[in-house]
């Protein structure tokens, strides 16, 4: 009789299969919870195209699965900010890129806007990672004279975050389209920071 090890998949392939399975489960969790915050593990397994046992093999509980999704989301947001070139682009453009990264993140994770989705706080919380980066961006604009220097950058950073959260809530409530909210948010954020140029680079009226 042939040794069972002869027909077993090699360790590298097993790891690759497990990685794909985990990615499929996390993606299914993102989609299903975005539609139904109270969705079960069975619902998530069905969307991922795997068995419930496979989901539990990787995540021992629903709480562990949701926590893994939140950690993955936080890492994605950090990567979006890294890719935005916030420290090198002109300050007004960098602010627009910062907001754009936020809109892409919210579009991918609409469940984050739903208060019914009770999510755990991730180890690398975007609310800890992003504000210092935005504050540095605003300080740079104040040093170069592109932003109004008389208002504390920390206050402006918090206000810009609040503005985007409000704009996202308006979209969620159906009062604005995503495009309308993004344009209004960008223009308002630039005005809030006292930018010398409009959101599309046109000079502002005095």
**CA separation (Å) from 190 to 139, 149, 197?**
14, 13, 8
Are 147 and 182 members of one domain?
yes
- What does the alpha-carbon distance between residue 128 and residue 77 come to, in Å, rounded to a whole number? 12
Alpha helices per DSSP H over the chain = 11-35, 41-48, 52-58, 62-83, 91-108, 126-144, 153-172, 178-192
> Is residue 128 in some structural domain?
yes
What integer pLDDT is reported at residue 17 of this predicted model? 77
Are 53 and 89 members of one domain?
no
- End residue of a domain, out of 30, 60, 90: 60
Are 33 and 80 members of one domain?
no
> Is residue 6 in some structural domain?
yes
Are 55 and 97 members of one domain?
no
> Is residue 78 in some structural domain?
yes
> Is residue 203 in some structural domain?
yes
What integer pLDDT is reported at residue 122 of this predicted model? 63
Kindly tell me the sign of the dihedral angle through the C-alpha atoms of 193, 198, 200, 203.
negative
Spell out, as residue ranges, where the chain has pLDDT lower than 50.
1, 198-206
What integer pLDDT is reported at residue 204 of this predicted model? 44
Are 121 and 195 members of one domain?
yes
Interacting residues of 135 by C-beta distance below 8 A, sequence separation 6+: 153, 154, 156, 157
Are 53 and 79 members of one domain?
no
3 state SS of 202: coil
pLDDT in tens, 122-132: 656 656 778 89
Are 105 and 195 members of one domain?
yes
What integer pLDDT is reported at residue 116 of this predicted model? 65
Are 95 and 145 members of one domain?
yes
23 within 8 A of 48, measured Cβ to Cβ: no
What integer pLDDT is reported at residue 18 of this predicted model? 83
**CA separation (Å) from 149 to 54, 138, 159, 192?**
55, 9, 15, 12
- End residue of a domain, out of 60, 79, 97: 60
What integer pLDDT is reported at residue 201 of this predicted model? 43
Q: What are phi and psi of 49, to 5 degrees?
A: 75, 30
- What does the alpha-carbon distance between residue 37 and residue 152 come to, in Å, rounded to a whole number? 38
Domain range enclosing 43: 1-60
CATH code of residue 9: 1.10.10
Are 32 and 127 members of one domain?
no
> Is residue 42 in some structural domain?
yes
Interacting residues of 192 by C-beta distance below 8 A, sequence separation 6+: 156, 159, 160, 163
Are 146 and 75 members of one domain?
yes
pLDDT in tens, 60-75: 999 999 999 988 998 9
- End residue of a domain, out of 9, 26, 60: 60
Are 48 and 112 members of one domain?
no
> Is residue 93 in some structural domain?
yes
CATH code of residue 120: 1.10.357
Beta bridge partners of 203: 197
> Is residue 132 in some structural domain?
yes
Buried b (16+ CB within 10 A) or exposed e, 136-161: ebbbbbbeeebbbeeeebeebbeebb
Kindly tell me the sign of the dihedral angle through the C-alpha atoms of 95, 182, 115, 47.
negative
Are 56 and 75 members of one domain?
no
> Is residue 27 in some structural domain?
yes
Nearest one of 136, 179, 135, 142 to 158, comparing CA atoms:
135
Query: How many domains in the chain?
Result: 2
């Amino acid at each position: 009789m042939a040794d069972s090890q002869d027909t077993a998949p090699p360790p590298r392939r097993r790891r690759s299969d497990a990685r794909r399975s985990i990615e499929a489960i996390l993606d299914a969790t993102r989609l299903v919870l975005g539609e139904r915050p109270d969705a079960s593990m069975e619902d998530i397994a069905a969307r991922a195209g795997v068995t419930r046992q496979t989901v539990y093999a990787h995540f021992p509980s629903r709480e562990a699965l949701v926590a893994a999704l939140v950690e993955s989301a936080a890492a994605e947001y950090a990567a979006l900010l890294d890719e935005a070139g916030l420290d090198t682009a002109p300050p007004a453009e960098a602010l627009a890129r910062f907001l754009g990264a936020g809109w892409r993140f919210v579009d991918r994770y609409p469940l984050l806007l739903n208060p019914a989705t009770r999510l755990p706080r991730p180890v690398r919380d975007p609310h800890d990672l992003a504000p210092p980066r935005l504050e540095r961006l605003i300080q740079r604009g104040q040093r170069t004279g592109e932003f109004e220097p008389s208002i504390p950058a920390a206050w402006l950073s918090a206000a810009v975050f609040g503005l985007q959260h409000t704009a996202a809530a308006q979209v969620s409530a159906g009062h604005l389209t995503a495009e309308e909210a993004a344009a209004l948010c960008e223009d308002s954020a630039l005005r809030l920071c006292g930018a010398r140029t409009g959101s599309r680079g046109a000079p502002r009226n005095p």
